Amino acid sequence: MTSRERLQKALNHQQPDRVPVDIGGTAVTGIHVSAVTRLRRAALGDESYRVKVVEPYQMLGEVDDELCDALGIDVIGLRPRATMFGFENADWKPFTLFDGTEALVPEKFNVTKADDGGFVIYPEGDTSAPPSGHMPKGAFFFDSIIRQPPVDEDKLNPADNLEEFAEFTDANLAWYRQRIKALDDGKRGIILTMPGAAFGDIALVPAPWMKHPKGIRDIEEWYVSTAVRKDYVLAIFEKQCEIALKNLEKLIPVLGNRVQAVFLTGTDFGTQRGPFIAPQAYRELFKPFHKRVNDLVHAKSSWKTFIHSCGSVFDLLPDFIEAGFDILNPVQCSAACMDARTLKKEFGKHLTFWGGGANTQQTLPFGTPDEVYREVRERIEIFGEGGGFVFDTVHNIQGPTPAANLLAMFKAIKDSAR
């Protein structure tokens, strides 16, 4: 099978010739640039190669065509035009991370030294604006800088939390038309990251790409608002949903069946120990909008819809399915009630598990290569039966992960196909 055929089989809950693999297709299925660099050197032996940072917020590295071919990676991603800091991936320049990794970053990746010896980064690369991200000294990625003044209840306006959402222009659509042409080789599967369809994704609330965000932009204040300012939040979601639906209506004909899956939302609903939100609150605040977006995608395209939600979300999975989601990520099997066999047994007919292949909190970064190998083989055996599984780790592979463990992971994937 080609990679695209393999992915489509798995998404259709049919048995492919081997499990399809995604490492690097989205901002939640990626790999830190330091780890990519070590992996590329171990797999291809090119010591001088500088990996591009394609998602600067989490400092995720590009998994290029040569590395995809060498490791058997089947999925590539169609990302939004602008990064999380509001600039395009273009005009590359060198940058050295605190761990000594030499990488390439976009020309507008502009940083200055922070008081703690780390870096601050600027929205749209504009150093005259307040910085929107902070990488502490010795760290591997950025945290958002909260830039919200004290909340004035009498002046709260949902429009302030909608500034970043707009209908696609002809220029936007032309960019997607050009980008899909460059990506589509007819062989690999493609996942689209759809901008503007994630309702209340906490990584997006501080809006690190905006120079002067207004509205509720503090993480704690936003979570409080979902309980005490529900009308405000619902008003934001209603207008955001209208825009997202219009943009999908425009984009689906441009991309057609060259896309197999669409990443719609990265809003987290789980903690390590249980749901982050009561099921009834999910049904009131999020589910109606998720259903409207999913219904349109399914009516107008062949795409499968992808929800990313970390943690223990077992109790919410029936609602995710009713809302129309086809794919669950990152499948955090180490969280409470997220046992792999139980998930496959209870929900494997309805959901494709895109993730769950290796524990990025424990086994992959801190285990031995043998432990990694055994875990990966076990997860493929459990999730891969009858299709409905795309191999990916549980969220992004972190920077310090040893190359030997990454090679053990890919060996386990390869061996599982025999």
pLDDT in tens, 54-78: 999 999 999 999 999 999 999 999 9
> Angle at Cα 309 formed by Cα 306 and Cα 313, nearest 5°?
115
Residues 367-387, mean pLDDT to the nearest whole number: 98
DSSP state of 205: T
Domain boundaries, the chain: 3-45+72-83+149-416
Q: What are the angstrom distances between the C-alpha of 246 and each of 78, 261, 263, 293?
A: 19, 19, 17, 10
Using pLDDT thresholds of 50, 70 and 90, give the confidence band for residue 114: very high
How many whole angstroms separate alpha carbon 37 and alpha carbon 49? 8
Supply the pLDDT for residue 154.
93
CB neighbourhood size of 255 (10 A): 20
Q: Lowest-confidence range among 184-188, 216-220, 295-299?
A: 184-188
Supply the pLDDT for residue 357.
98
Average pLDDT in the chain: 97
Supply the pLDDT for residue 396.
98
Q: Are 61 and 31 in contact (CB under 8 A)?
A: yes
Using pLDDT thresholds of 50, 70 and 90, give the confidence band for residue 8: very high
Using pLDDT thresholds of 50, 70 and 90, give the confidence band for residue 418: confident
Percent of the residues in the chain that have a pLDDT greater than 70, as a whole number: 100
The correct answer on CATH 2.60.120.10 for the domain covering 3-45+72-83+149-416 is no
Quick one: CA torsion of 384, 386, 390, 395, rounded to 10 degrees? -60
Using pLDDT thresholds of 50, 70 and 90, give the confidence band for residue 45: very high
Supply the pLDDT for residue 98.
98
pLDDT in tens, 305-359: 999 999 999 999 999 999 999 999 999 999 999 999 999 999 999 999 999 999 9
How many whole angstroms separate alpha carbon 178 and alpha carbon 183? 9
pTM: 0.97
pLDDT in tens, 10-25: 999 999 999 999 999 9
Residues 141-157, mean pLDDT to the nearest whole number: 94
pLDDT in tens, 257-314: 999 999 999 999 999 999 999 999 999 999 999 999 999 999 999 999 999 999 999 9
- Distance from the Cα of residue 382 to its chain's centroid: 23
Using pLDDT thresholds of 50, 70 and 90, give the confidence band for residue 186: confident
What tokens were used for 83? 């990064």
How many whole angstroms separate alpha carbon 261 and alpha carbon 280? 28
Using pLDDT thresholds of 50, 70 and 90, give the confidence band for residue 46: confident
